[in-house]
Amino acid sequence: MIEDKLRDLGVYPDAITQTAEIFGRIQKPEDLRDEMRRLGKSLGGDQFLYHHFIALVTKRPELIDEAVETINVEGVSPELVREYFGYSSADPGNVFSMRHGEIPNETRIELYDKALQFAFDKMKDYLGLRPEES
């Protein structure tokens, strides 16, 4: 059951049902931003996702290695991909931008988009909300 899996992550324990509904309803990570606004939340969609994803990573640390292998952005080393996910409990894009302003904006945006999609897909997989790939 989705609620049990979310409860096991320990994120927003007073909002398990609402969180399950959000993950069940949203089909693309960028839609989380609109959903948070619609619900009147001060939390951004990216933060909402990363709070859950980082809780999942504490249970499945191999996901970071998978992200490093999966996310390929020209001009961003595997070490920087790993570093990016280390900021995920905050606002990873902002923190990464401040620390790595030397990386062109377009490159950073590509990293952010791919990292967000990766985290979204892994959360959907964990919750059993994505069809199994054959």
Cβ distance 65 to 52 under 8 Å?
A: no
Q: What is the pLDDT of residues 18-44, one digit of tens each?
A: 999 999 999 999 999 999 999 988 888
Angle CA(74)–CA(102)–CA(113) in degrees, nearest 5?
45
Q: What is the pLDDT of residues 57-79, one digit of tens each?
A: 999 999 999 999 999 999 899 99
pLDDT range class, residue 100, cuts 50, 70, 90: confident
pLDDT of residue 134: 43
Domains of the chain, residue spans = 2-127
